[in-house]
Structure 1
């Protein structure tokens, strides 16, 4: 777009006015218009003279008019160009001359040119002389460059005289910038609380709508002439609510904290928005008839589900207890077998059993009637002729005792033979899948694997996996399989009780049936029912030589019309009695 003045005054203002008026009416102005229409440059002739200004101004104003016509912008821009430039602008903008009538050169280049940039003391826009010197200046809307000759700016760019502090307004007026100029507006002279309208009248300010928060939340704003008032709001809260401390809202009443609830003894109050709720404590239930909370007997409500053995109801809760031979586990629900042998109740040998234990005596001793103490057998006084445990070698004046070549060592007393615990010292040959069990004079490698459809709960305890609804074989199989190891000498007195079996815990009405299902083909063992809930396994005839047995003892428990079976697998070992 062509660069030229947008001053409302004539381009012939200031020091060069007389020179420029004479130039605009001269042939040079016509020559500038002709150059613009032909699309030629608007630069004037060389020389240090103000006469070039008329050619440049007329050429630029006409070029702007031609450009505005081609852009379809209309010819209203002359209102901002001043009389002389505006006249040239309108002449070229409103001309309807066909392009075919333009010279050939003008058809080739119809783009308007920019104002000339001249150096070597020549001005691109305005020039004036003072004391024989040429002074350059720019049209309004243009700025003089650092070279002192060239003017830069857009024809549509307006200078903000107010921002550049070029206004002439007094202290009682405000400067407002306008296109190409500025205007002075009288300052407001209204009292506080009023403002001036478009006609200069003072009108009241509505502070309630113009201010962000004129009053606090608990007060309402009321506008007055020149000011405003804050009036306190009146709140009516529903039942269960009260007015907040600031009076601005309704807050919930905590009946539980204030003690205004109607919950009975043993009930817990829970606050709700606008109300409250009464609940019974854990372990209690609400008696709708008596309107009180009563204790829940968890043992009756959930029989057999809370405790593994015995359930005892307490006020608001319950306790799990175990029968003799068991101790309550860390989960306070299940019962774990007590290894009574750790407390060394027997004077000699002790074998732990599920829920109990059994004392046994070493060679040369017998078990006292108390079932705990082993008393020595005086072999010599019984005329058995043996002073040694295994072999006696007579010598002059004394005797020597010897032990078997394998599995024993001579005791410190020189008479008895001590068994070598191959499992403890690591001299056994059991694989990693089997468990080593020490015997008198030897050891056995035992397998405690669980059958199909069972999972191993401990090293000697298997539990049946849940059965499919139509799998009767699975449902009739034992619920639990437990392994036990028992060792005896072949000279044990018969009949002798070696194992007891019964349910734990015991309930009134329980009945058990004990039977040996396998491993008793030679009829060494028998079963006997001690009472309705306990059975025992006996050795009914003497085993005269070392022998190993694996017998399966089944217990069928009849409880509340349901039969459940349990299986005990007994490894019974008989060792030589001569040691």
Structure 2
């Protein structure tokens, strides 16, 4: 049998060593027995140490386990040993892996509790036994007054756990890591302290010892008591506080009467009497007091206008526009105008008032408010030629802020000639030209090789060659034209031609500068006359400066003339 066991164990180990030498993974076949698989894996994997695990709270150390395969025979299948089997003299001898000890039966192994040894872990660590090994965990130390809970130090509530040492005259108050004892409040004489620490009055006249003699009654008071002499009083009377005499009981004040609804209680010596209040009468059938309707009983005699019955009485009132007089019965007219109910004028009438408005206002549907009439929007005709401005109660006509003044009729605006009045800002070297609603400061300057012969004309001084004489203008003339923006399009605004004209003359007219937006065009009226047209509508005030060139063909020679035209488009007439 020993030879068979040794042969089986050696076969399992040989399989593991062969698999390891061939570089294959160490995986035991499912048909190998438990002990054979352990032998197979041990021989295949060789000696390995277990990992050391660390975390934030404790350190775990495992004792390394190794297997010495020298002269070691491990049983497979149902061998006699639970863990290791070694052949000694042809007989099996059992042993255990590190961390286990062989039991008295010589075949089973039991886990060794390494934590029973004082040298297993350091003093700052806690030993935890595991199967075949042990771990060391770092201890968490909490400060005084705290306890560990799930590796967290929490405050101990000594007051709840009743672990404090406060005496009966003190109450416990928990603090972080400790507690304090506060003295309980003391009660004055005649009071006792309840379980909540509050002072309550002591009933000296209670079931305990009676402090008064038999001839006196004990009456408890707040913080003390009093003794009252016992006397016998007849019905309707009670003993005085000192117990020396009998005094009348006021049933009316003490609520001891039986007067019905609407009745008044009148106290009497030893009794009381019930009477109906003023404005009520006794109903013997219902045995109660019922209200008297004075308005029905005395119709038209109590109030001048309206009588309203009230419980036990009546009230006079007046209709709208009147108020009650000082006697509480008659009515007098209210002057509502004193309260300024109208936004403008108020006329008081008997029992009411009437609002009316001043000229230029109308009364709104509420009958009180006056609102301004907007003459500018409600007028059938045109009140103003330029602009109508509504003002409270009326209107006024206005002109543009600059360039115009109001005519004497107060409706139309007329242009201000700034050039004539001197209200311009032109320099001495400039010429003031008035336009509708403003003015322009114009400066005439002649180009080189030209001389100024008048305020609006420049003439060429010389021409060095024939080509220059053909192409440069003989004369440059300035013109100023002003039109309103509502001019009918197309509009002929300028004519140009030789003066005098001769038979055989022929002209060519063109715009050489200033017509980039194509507002203007030229047209030949006849052989010696050309015209400039405004053929596009101009929106709003705008200034143009165009150069119109006329080439005159006369007797085989071209002569050039140039007209520099300022075109001012102004607003519509006011």
Task: Give me the TM-score of the superposition, normalised by structure 1.
Answer: 0.32
Flag the structure with more relative contact order, 1 or 2, with Cα contacts below 8 A and sequence separation at least 6: 1
Larger Rg: 2
Which structure has the highest helix share of the two? Answer: 1
Which structure has the highest strand share of the two? Answer: 2
Task: Give me the TM-score of the superposition, normalised by structure 2.
Answer: 0.33
